[in-house]
């Protein structure tokens, strides 16, 4: 390996040898089992894929294609892998954490309420919640990632003759609704064929509701799923392939909510309601409307496939299950956290038939997010995230929906019937930083001192993070440490991996992260650790 020179205290130079990492004993053992005379042929590799990696459908052609893709590296024997080649293959991008050929493999014939759904919040914002631009670009990006629920806040334009999408009562610049609808139609099923739900936050007058109905009908046509009456049970994702569904409150319910607030003379409550409206609550409607509201925009109401609303009363009433119809309830993250203390079982029971949407609290001005496991562990299907945000919570969201072929729907577990389990993770090594960063990126005077944090994000009983030892002055750290994680709900357990560079005098440098998928993902041997971001 090459040598590197670093300046130390500007007085002298110190030279470090870039160490190479050897395959550990268990990989040597597996190589011996699936090789002959020190060479792993394509047929040997196929048997390894079937027996060890769990890729039961792997063919000889698949194995040969893997070898052909790596022939440009000189470490491979012309007849197949040698030990070093096999080791490099295991940690290369050609061996991803999830088998891309597995595709959609969950049962997709259950009602929609039986699935976690990849859900966006304020899907039109390009940045923060207060002053960023509204655009169809983040909607397109979300759909290409596999997001299946798009949220649009719709308001009258400045002349009250058309409809804009924007974050109301903020400085966000609007985008026309028709532009967003056309982009949804064009990009809805590029990443997944399974249904797209458009949730509308409606702040419109009666005539503009009728105009929206016309826009939606003309844009989507036969793609729209319009049941015509209240559903007794949600249809399945399989039956709704390449269909678009509208979810919002029926207009009459918006107007009733308005009437209640008009009668309320408590100024504090009025202020709270206004703040909730500005930050995405679905309980408020302040547009000017006619007093006679019995037949408001019937053509608009007929488009609604998933009826939303809280109804009268408090949480106990909101969570009441109607055997004759299904609906969607929306709660803020604070409302959910309070509700699970006294109504945890009611929430789970509600989500067995109905939809629960959870959205970020209003003070998340920077488009940050919250812990999605709180919602998922109580059955919430639509845990709504700011996809233009950042942070560990968003990593978990993206990791969760890499499962099931990345189709945007992950089957919910019946974890009350599941026995306890545990997961074992071996953190062996990391590689790739040396090629992607300048050799003084982490430390101007020596190679980096890497350590890894590995753990589980899941229900509270399973959530934990552990840490490897720190390896000094090494671009290719080989930790070779084993961690065990007891799991009460393995179906909701997401593996988290982070790498940091230890810094004695300042905050440790972030070097990479990965949330491969949840623990229901494929079993197997080591996978690539170079795909950090």
Closest to 121 (Cα-Cα) out of 341, 358, 427, 463 = 358
Q: Taking a C-beta distance cutoff of 8 angstroms, is the pair 494, 452 a contact?
A: no
* Rounded Cα–Cα distance for residues 530 and 513 (Å): 10
Neighbours of 198 (CB within 10 A): 25
Q: Is 144 part of the annotated catalytic residue set?
A: no
The beta strand positions in 323-446, using DSSP E, are: 328-332, 355-359, 382-385, 409-411, 421-429
Q: Which of 44, 106, 114, 121 is catalytic?
A: 121
Helix axes 42-51, 60-69, angle to 10 degrees: 110
Q: Whose structure tokens read 């999830």?
A: 98
* Rounded Cα–Cα distance for residues 411 and 397 (Å): 15
Buried b / exposed e along 283-300 (16+ C-beta atoms within 10 A):
bbbbbebeeebeebbeeb
Q: Taking a C-beta distance cutoff of 8 angstroms, is the pair 475, 425 a contact?
A: no
Q: Which of 44, 106, 114, 167 is catalytic?
A: 167
CB-count burial class (<10 Å; 0-12, 13-18, 19+) for 322: exposed
Q: Taking a C-beta distance cutoff of 8 angstroms, is the pair 251, 230 a contact?
A: no
Q: Taking a C-beta distance cutoff of 8 angstroms, is the pair 474, 448 a contact?
A: yes
Q: Taking a C-beta distance cutoff of 8 angstroms, is the pair 296, 252 a contact?
A: yes
Alpha helices in 352-430 (DSSP H): 372-376, 392-400
Q: Is 121 part of the annotated catalytic residue set?
A: yes
Neighbours of 276 (CB within 10 A): 15
Give me the active site residues, please: 121, 167
């Amino acid at each position: 390996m090459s040598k590197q020179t670093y300046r130390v205290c500007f007085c002298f130079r110190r030279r470090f040898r870039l160490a190479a990492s050897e395959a550990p004993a268990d990989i040597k053992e597996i190589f011996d089992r699936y090789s002959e005379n020190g060479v792993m042929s394509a047929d040997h590799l196929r048997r390894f894929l079937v027996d060890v990696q769990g890729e039961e459908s792997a063919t000889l052609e698949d194995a040969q294609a893997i070898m052909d893709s790596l022939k440009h590296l000189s470490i491979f024997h012309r007849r197949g892998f040698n030990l070093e080649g096999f080791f490099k293959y295991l940690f290369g991008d050609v061996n991803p954490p999830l088998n891309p050929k597995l595709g959609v493999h969950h049962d997709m014939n259950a009602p929609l309420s039986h699935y976690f759904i990849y859900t966006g919040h304020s899907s039109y914002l390009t940045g923060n919640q207060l002053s960023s631009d509204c655009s169809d670009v983040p909607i397109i990006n979300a759909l290409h990632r596999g997001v299946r629920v798009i949220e649009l806040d719709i308001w009258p334009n400045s002349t009250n003759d058309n409809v804009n999408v924007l974050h109301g009562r903020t400085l966000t610049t609007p985008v026309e609704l028709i532009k967003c609808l056309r982009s949804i139609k064009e990009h809805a099923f590029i990443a997944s064929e399974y249904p797209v739900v458009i949730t509308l936050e409606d702040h419109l007058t009666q005539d503009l509701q009728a105009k929206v109905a016309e826009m939606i009908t003309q844009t989507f046509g036969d793609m729209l799923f319009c049941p015509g009456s209240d559903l007794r049970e949600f249809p399945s994702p399989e039956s709704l392939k390449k269909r678009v569904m509208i979810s919002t409150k029926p207009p009459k319910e918006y107007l009733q909510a308005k009437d209640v607030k008009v009668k309320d003379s408590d100024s504090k409550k009025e202020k709270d309601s206004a703040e909730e409206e500005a930050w995405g609550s679905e309980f408020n409607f302040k547009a000017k409307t006619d007093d006679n509201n019995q037949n408001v925009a019937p053509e608009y109401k007929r488009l609604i496939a998933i009826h939303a609303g809280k109804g009268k009363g408090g949480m106990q009433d909101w969570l009441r299950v109607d055997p004759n119809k299904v609906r969607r309830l929306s709660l803020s993250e604070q409302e959910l956290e309070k509700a699970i203390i006294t109504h945890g079982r009611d929430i789970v029971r509600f989500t067995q038939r109905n939809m629960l949407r959870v959205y970020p609290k209003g003070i998340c001005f920077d488009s940050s997010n919250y812990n999605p496991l709180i919602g998922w562990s109580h059955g919430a299907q639509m845990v709504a995230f700011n996809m233009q945000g950042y942070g560990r919570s968003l990593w978990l969201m993206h990791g969760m929906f890499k499962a099931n072929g990345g189709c945007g729907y992950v089957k919910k577990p019946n974890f009350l019937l599941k026995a306890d389990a545990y997961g074992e993770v071996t953190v062996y090594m990391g590689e790739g930083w040396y090629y992607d960063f300048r050799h003084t990126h982490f430390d101007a005077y020596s190679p980096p001192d890497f350590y890894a944090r590995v753990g589980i994000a899941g229900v509270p009983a399973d959530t934990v993070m552990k840490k490897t030892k720190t390896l000094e002055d090494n671009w290719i750290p080989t930790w070779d440490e084993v961690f065990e994680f007891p799991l009460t709900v393995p179906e909701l357990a997401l593996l988290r991996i982070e790498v940091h560079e230890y810094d004695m005098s300042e905050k440790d440098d972030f070097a990479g992260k990965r949330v491969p998928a949840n623990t229901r993902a494929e079993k197997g041997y080591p996978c690539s650790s170079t795909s950090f971001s």
